[in-house]
Amino acid sequence: MNEFFTSLRAAFEPAGADEAGRIFNTYWFVAFAVATTLAYWLLRKPALRLSFLAIACVLFHYHFAGPAGMAPIIVLGILTYLIGLSRHRLACVAGIVVAVLALCFYKYAHFFVLDVLGLINPAWGQAIEKAARASLPRIASPEGGTFLFIPPLGMSFFAFEFVHYLYEVRKGAAPLKNPLKFVLFSIFFPSLVAGPIKRFGQFIPSLEAGAAGVNADDVAVGFRRIAMGFLKKVVIADNLTGYLELNLGTYDHPNLGNFAGAGLVLRWFYLVLVALRILFDFSGYSDIAIGLARLLGIQLPENFNWPYAARSIQDFWQRWHISLSSWIRDYVYIPLGGNRHGAVRRIVNGLIAFALCGLWHGAAWNFVVWGLYHGIGLAVCATYRNVPGVGRLLGWMFGKFPALAWLVTEVFVCIGWLLFFYPLQSALLMATQLFGYTR
Amino acid sequence: MSQTPEKIVRSRLARHAFSLVVGLAVGVFLHYLLYRLGLPVQPFIYVAF
Amino acid sequence: MTIKEIFQTLRAGMVTRTVLAGIVIGFVGLCLLGRRASRTPAMERFVRFTQYTSNESKYYVTVNEMMSIVRAKIKPGQILVVVGGNSILRGVAQLPDQLWTQKLQDRLGDGYCVVNFAFNASLITDAASVAAEALAKEFPRQIYIANAAPTQAPTPGGSLVYRWVYWDAYYKGLLIDDPARAKKIAANMAFRIPQPDGSFFYPFKGNIQELKLASWLDSWCYFNDFWNDVAYSDFNTIWNPLMPGLVDFMQARSNWRDPDPDGSLFPLTVRFPTETRDGELVNIRGNSDRAFNKDPNGVWQAYLPLWDDVFQRGIEDIFPPQLKARTLILLSGTATYYNKWLTDEERERDRITYEEAVRRWKLGGFDALEYGRDFAVEDHFDRTHLTKTGAAKLADVVAPKVKEMAQKLGYLK
């Protein structure tokens, strides 16, 4: 018996850092998901199911994030829950600010200090970094090293969900009184690491419905989605990644010579593969998360809807990472004024929203530029028809030949992925080489 | 337009056959997945987020 | 109708219970087929593992595959000779028909069956030793051969790189119960080195939890045997830089030819380049520089903390006691080419280190043999690996020893 408990305790020890990027791709996760799902099905009372699920989610979070990764989320979560309960509008704003500051600290401090401040004066950036390292508290991370400037697992998603929660409560939505449900909203294991970004108004009713009963449809659809997600990830995306990294290098070591040396057709072929790789990797992840939740009878929001079938940039963002783009729309673009204050404000608001969207994807300049690139694309997309002559002609052509609209959209989106995967200068060089420029 | 009983049976059979094929494919793939997880895998792209 | 609409129609037409039944049938059916595959030899004309049938190209051979290879190859009454160890014994720089294990088979004759299960950089305790142990009941008349550097004590249960075979066999119940080895493996897993920032580094642990879980699951579902069989015989699903095409990588691994070249065709200037000579000499000196020191009277003294505490204790529990006597350790000598760059004293220290290693292995209950000191310059492909002439000489040295061991172990009665 003692041996059993020792093994059980060992099973939930914090995982190594290398597992943070693989979570669904580990045997630990497979065993955890199978055991959790079976136990959840066997429990019949909704309250028991929810309690069990909450315990499982805590164990999941502990295993992959470790105590150091859980600590900031627990603090933020308790704060968000209590502020929500108070329904105090100012407190909600303060809570939103805290969540955003936490995100900035963990994810962007390094970027702000070294890349932004470093642009002005590199010595200042390094001095601040050194002082911060000396003075800020250190918490040992599970895999050695210290937990300073290292974002807790899923930080970007936690911050967005907490901001959404407090924003809605501030607007008048009823807060979650049941702490169990708040815990499940915060650390629901299928979506804990990388979304889809949930809305509590949709998630809680679905959670309750799942606890009340899981039907055969849920199970069949769940398995199908999980299988589809893994197929996209391990069969398509991983093989493409290996191939692309061999031929085009990585972010840190882009193989520009190979790209320039390839013929024009091959360059475009590489570009298509880059686009397919990110689609299958990320939508594969979302499928797995959605499928896992569905096995528990819970519906998560869809994240992708055939994005490469889009016929305009606007259309693309209604199909790509939907839970993020709708979050940006509701909690950045609209609060900034949206399209309510004329064309110029609308464009500026869009650019700000998309620059933030880019920055959310990673703390580096190439992500900011990628966001702005799409912001500009959207602005052009929304206004070009008003330009007499060329604009109207283009509008007419795209209406008459949808395939042309599709082609232009895909070329725009695919070129954008170069900014996503490679350093700014390399991406720009590769983009020019797509059009025959080689020097 | 109403369907003849024969057509209904045929359509039902086709649906079952298709469903079985889909189920088999999922089952086979889940078995493959257990094998694949033991080999080196690329981290998910979300690591960058 | 768009593709999306077609998918929607197909989804709507599915019968839930039939889908679920299909999932169960598909999964369980493959587990059963995997069990069958685990007993069916896929590599029928096996000579050695190549880069296409090793972890270098993401192919993780199972213990059952290795056992099947032996079963397919061995004839009734033959003594089984399993060869493990690293790239030297795998036969890097030897074509399949030049391979030293083929020569060994020729010299031993029909009474023996030699199989080469060596992998690049693998240790004495890695894959081949596991396969031999798993076959010990079925083929008790067996000799296991592996090589090592003179002061190298292997990790029980295998190295971090190859230990999957040990855990594969462990969870399939194929290993001999050995509490002393189990204790040592557990102690290795718990061994940790404090780091300056207060954390710990576990040099032997790796991701052992995942490996154990995978092996346990495989002992029920046989996914490794099934899908390895598919990858080898039908189609490969994992891209890797050794099979680099976007489509080519899908070919069955059996289609890829053994790529090792004939090392004897390379000129000596390529095999022993002057630019890397100093580095190689550092490696050669490293074999012995901690093993022996001269005392004030000029007499060589063994450095006992290394020999007693690390080496002798290190080799103590690597195998179950009953398998030690059938194990022949080959201590791989370095290329004769480098001899002239060593001082007389360094050559002497090297010689007595190898002698001491042989003595220590024998003291531990194993048999051991040093080779290579009298080889010609041409017999080596580089500092350690052998060309076809070196391969033949190695077979000449090992064959009589194997026969002697077989006699001593009572296999010839």
Q: Is B10 on the interface with C (CB under 8 A)?
A: no
- Smallest CA–CA distance, residue C25 to chain A, in Å, is 14
The residues on A that touch B, with CB distances below 8 Å, are: 20-27, 30, 156, 193-194, 220, 223-224, 226-227, 230-231, 233-235, 237-238, 241-242, 278, 281-282, 285, 360-362
DSSP run (H or E) holding A437? none
Tokens 């399949």 label which residue? C96
Q: Specify the pLDDT at position A8.
A: 65
Cα separation, A337 vs A345, in Å, equals: 8
Does residue A196 have a cis peptide bond before it, meaning omega lies within 30 degrees of 0? yes
CA distance C121 to C354: 20
Calpha distance A270→A244 (Å, rounded): 7
| Mean per-residue pLDDT over chain C, rounded | 94
- B31 vs C18: CB contact, 8 Å cut-off? no
Please give the residue that has the higher pLDDT: either A51 or B49.
A51
CA A142 vs. chain centroid, Å, equals 24
Residue B22: count other Cβ atoms within 10 Å of its Cβ: 23
Using the predicted structure, report yes or no on whether residue C44 has a pLDDT greater than 90.
Answer: no
Is residue B49's pLDDT more than 70?
A: no
Token pair 């088979």 is found at: C105
Locate the chain B residue with the closest alpha carbon to A236. Answer: B42
Q: Which of A21, A360, A361 sits opposite B43 (nearest CB)?
A: A21
Going from N- to C-terminal start, the domains of chain B cover 5-48
CB-based contact, C12 to chain B, within 8 Å:
no
Looking at beta carbons, which residues of chain B come within 8 Å of A20? 43, 47
Phi then psi for C143, rounded to 5 degrees?
Answer: -125, 135
Give the model's pLDDT for residue B47.
64
Question: Pick from C396, C117, C97, C50: which is nearest to C264 by CA?
Answer: C97
Distance separating alpha carbons of residues A328 and C46, to the nearest angstrom = 59
Residue C198 has pLDDT above 90, yes or no: no
C241 touches chain A (CB under 8 A): yes
- Tell me the shortest Cα–Cα distance from C93 to chain B, in angstroms: 28
Q: How many CB pairs under 8 A join A and C?
A: 69
For chain A, which residues score pLDDT lower than 50?
137, 140-147
pLDDT at C13 over 90: no
Query: What b/e sequence results for C222-245 when a residue is b if at least 16 CB atoms lie within 10 Å of its CB, and e otherwise?
Result: bbbbbbbbbbbbeebbbbbebbee
Residue A147 pLDDT = 47
- Residue C205's pLDDT is 85
Nearest to C213 among A19, A31, A238 (CB): A31
**Cα angle, residue A125 at apex, residues A121 and A128 outer, rounded to 5°:** 140
Residue A140, chain C, CB below 8 Å: the answer is yes
- Phi/psi for C113 (5° steps) reads -125, 110
Q: What is the token pair recorded at C230?
A: 């598919």
Q: What are the two backbone dihedrals, phi and then psi, of residue A133, each rounded to the nearest 5 degrees?
A: -65, -35
Q: What pLDDT score was predicted for residue A132?
A: 65
Q: Rounded CA gap, C54 and C50, in Å?
A: 6
| Contact call for C210 and A27, based on CB within 8 A | yes
User: Is the predicted pLDDT of residue C84 greater than 80, yes or no?
Assistant: yes
| Close Cβ partners of C205 (under 8 Å, ≥ 6 residues apart) | C189
Helix orientation angle between A402-421 and A390-400, rounded to the nearest 10 degrees: 110
Tens-place pLDDT, residues C254-297: 999 999 999 999 999 999 999 999 999 999 999 999 999 999 99
**For A107-124, how does the pLDDT look when each residue is reduced to its tens digit (9 = 90+)?**
887 777 767 777 777 777
Q: Does C23 touch chain B (CB under 8 A)?
A: yes
Per-residue model confidence (pLDDT) at position A20 = 64
Question: Closest chain A residue to B47 measured between Cα atoms?
Answer: A21
* Cα dihedral value A182, A186, A189, A194, nearest 10: 160
C206 sits in the region (left: phi over 0; alpha: psi -120 to 50; else beta) called left
User: 3-class secondary structure for chain C?
Assistant: CCHHHHHHHHHHCCCHHHHHHHHHHHHHHHHHHHHHHCCCCCCCCCCCCCHHHCHHHCCCCCHHHHHHHHHHHCCCCCEEEEECCCHHHHCCCCCHHHCHHHHHHHHHCCCEEEEECCCCCCCCCCHHHHHHHHCCCCCCCEEEEEEECCCCCCCCCCCCCCCHHHHHHHHCCCCCCCHHHHHHHHHHHHCCEECCCCCEECCCCCCHHHHHHHHHHHHHHCHHHHHHHHHHHCECCCCECCECCCCHHHECHHHCCCCCCCHHHCCHHHHCCHHHHHHHHHHHHHCCCCCEEECCCCCEEECHHHHHHHHHHHCCCCCCHHHHCCEEEEEECCCHHHHHHCCHHHHHHHHHHHHHHHHHHHHCCCEEEEECCCCCHHHECCCCCECHHHHHHHHHHHHHHHHHHHHHCCCCC
> Roughly what angle, to the nearest 10 degrees, separates helices C208-221 and B5-36?
140
Q: Which residues on chain B are in Cβ contact (under 8 Å) with A235?
A: 36
Q: Which two tokens stand for residue B1?
A: 């337009």
